[in-house]
Amino acid sequence: MSQGRVIQGKVVAVAGSKTATIVVERKVMHPRYHKTVKRFKKYLIHDEKSELNVNDVVTAIECRPLSKRKSFRLNSIITTGVK
């Protein structure tokens, strides 16, 4: 079985019982000014055990679509945030 994409981000919201929102930051070069700029994207991830809190840094792995916007599941918690 092939592995999907792995993303790393920070939990910004815990919505519902098994869903968390993470924000993934990437740095890209601006095409005209050649300066490094930050780009952000939010993903909904599936947290089966409801163990995530806000400010946790996590990795998520791509899986089959679980809902309209949720196609990633929790892989591991890297660091836990302050409660």
Looking at residue 37, which CATH number applies to its domain?
2.40.50.140
Q: Structural domain tally of the chain?
A: 1
In a domain, 72, yes or no: yes
Share of the chain above pLDDT 70, in %: 96
| Domain assignment of residue 44, yes or no | yes
Nearest residue to 18 (alpha-carbon basis) of 75, 82, 73: 73
Instruction: Look at residues 61, 46, 51 and name the one whose alpha carbon lies nearest to residue 83.
Output: 51
pLDDT recorded at residue 21 = 97
Residue with the bigger pLDDT between 1 and 41: it is: 41
Instruction: Return the pLDDT at 57.
Output: 97
Residue 27 belongs to some domain of the structure:
yes
Residue 53 lies in a domain: yes
| Domain residue limits at 71 | 6-79
